[in-house]
Amino acid sequence: MTETISDYQIFCRRLIEGLKKETETYRQLNATLKKKQKAIIDGDLETLHSCVEEEQKLVKSGFKEAELRKALMSDYLQISGSAGPVPRLSEIISVADETYKTQLSNLRYHLKKEIDRITKLNSENSFLLNSSISHIKGLINIFLKSDKDAPKLYDNDGFAKNLEKENKILNCTI
């Protein structure tokens, strides 16, 4: 019996450490996403580029930590001697010893809170970027008058220039 308790205690400690590390990664990701949002608003491309690089590293780290958490959940089946699907964290918390229950509940709450913040910031950043792209498309359409006849350019003598042969002021495709 003491071996099972020992395995259970080791499992709980590993799970707690894993949840702490995963939560911290998500906190760092939230800080990076906030910085990214400010860079989008300010139009600071250098900061935006560094934020995207940092975001990618943190997302990879978060995926690795989530996989470790899932592997620990699978280990719980062996420790508890039960069969069936891999339990969710809330299920493990509900049957945990009082020694670990509060700490696991708090970590689960903070992990969920950080994930919700990430979801919200990603949604806001996506909206900002999509609005900016729509605005730029609208400006280009106004500038090029793409919904009407092609604009005519005139030289200094008042003669119409051939647009196909002349230099274009703005030539871009979105």
Q: Which residue has the higher pLDDT, 58 or 76?
A: 58
> What pLDDT, in 10s, does the model give residues 122-139?
999 989 888 888 878 877
Structural domain includes residue 161: no
pTM reported for the whole predicted model: 0.72
> Is residue 139 in a domain?
no
Report the domain count for the chain. Answer: 1
Using the structure block, give the residue that is written with the tokens 């670990």: 100
**44 within some domain:** yes
**Contact between residue 55 and residue 29 where contact means Cβ atoms under 8 Å apart:** yes
Lowest mean pLDDT among 41-55, 68-82, 98-112: 68-82
- In this structure, is residue 39 part of a structural domain? yes
For residue 6, is pLDDT > 80? no
Per DSSP, 160 falls in state: B
Q: What is the residue type of 108?
A: R
Domain CATH code at residue 58: 1.20.58
What's the domain range around 10? 2-132
How confident is the model at residue 28, as a pLDDT?
Answer: 97
Q: Is residue 158 part of a domain?
A: no
DSSP character at residue 154: B
Is the pLDDT confidence value at 150 over 90? no
